[in-house]
Amino acid sequence: MQAVLTLLLAILFAAAPLVTDPFSGFRADQLPVPQVDPPVQPAGWAFSIWGVIYAWLIVSAAFGLWARRADADWQAARTPLVLSLAIGVPWLAIANASAIWATVTIFLMAAAAIAALLRAPVRDRWLLRAPVGLYAGWLTAASFVSLASTAAGYGFGDQLLWAYFSIALAALVAWAVQSRTAEWTYGLAVGWALLGIVVANLPALPLVAAVAGAALLLIAARATTRSRALP
């Protein structure tokens, strides 16, 4: 049943943008201090990674149902992955309704996805660990983007301060996770988000771009070293 549920949720998760209002950041009326183009938000093209994530998770779940239905290693990763996807299905609707709940739930999604990544076996790497790594990496970055926008939107500090703080926290968490897994797709997704932040802030905010660029190089170096050290 868990294998069936994983595939069903992966399909529903991918279909959610087709039936839910689009989300490209919190609307002005969702926050006491409107966040218009916050510096922590990646450039729009960076969100295209979701197409790869959706498709790869569906392929992974379909293969798991077909060939690894009762495999103990796959089952260990499926449990937190199911939790993450179950939250992800209604997440767009949540984000359009409440910035606070969107932030809380995306952190839960990210934590569960990271747990799934750390439990994923080396075997069938490209059909389980790699797609989950990409998914978990993007959620890691997206969680701190949401945190920065929500905190600044409720007046707990300036947009710029939250941009620096959130980029640093995202890099710290990504470093810790990448230190525990050799799966470089995790670091790739975090780095892709950081690259989006770099591009979004040039030339207007070069210091934000520089901090995001430094974080990108740090995570890229860690992912490279770990991918060479372990299978």
The confidence score (pLDDT) of residue 230 equals 57
| 90-140 confidence digits (pLDDT tens) | 999 999 999 999 999 999 999 999 999 999 998 999 999 999 999 999 999
d(CA 75, CA 112): 14
The confidence score (pLDDT) of residue 37 equals 87
| 168-218 confidence digits (pLDDT tens) | 999 999 999 999 999 999 999 999 999 999 999 999 999 999 999 999 999
The confidence score (pLDDT) of residue 22 equals 78
32 part of a folded domain: no
Say how many C-beta atoms besides its own lie within 10 A of residue 135's C-beta: 33
Average pLDDT over residues 41-56: 96
- Look at the chain and report how many structural domains it folds into: 1
Q: How confident is the model at residue 25 (pLDDT cuts 50, 70, 90)?
A: confident
Residue 231 reports pLDDT greater than 60: no
The confidence score (pLDDT) of residue 135 equals 98
90: CB partners within 8 A, 6+ apart? 16
Q: Is the dihedral of CA 174, 191, 37, 112 positive or negative?
A: negative
Q: What is the mean pLDDT of the chain?
A: 95
Q: How confident is the model at residue 229 (pLDDT cuts 50, 70, 90)?
A: low
| Statement: the pTM of the whole predicted model exceeds 0.75 | yes
22: helix, strand or coil: coil
203 part of a folded domain: yes
Percent of the chain with pLDDT strictly greater than 70: 99
The confidence score (pLDDT) of residue 117 equals 98
25 part of a folded domain: no
23 part of a folded domain: no
Distances from the Cα of 177 to the Cα of 147, 201, 208, angstroms: 19, 26, 23
Residue 147 reports pLDDT greater than 60: yes
Domain that holds residue 133: 2-18+40-229
CA atoms within 13 A on the CB side of 186: 35
Helices (H), the chain: 2-19, 49-67, 72-88, 91-97, 99-119, 129-153, 159-178, 184-200, 206-229
29 part of a folded domain: no
Q: Which has more pLDDT, 26 or 9?
A: 9
224 part of a folded domain: yes
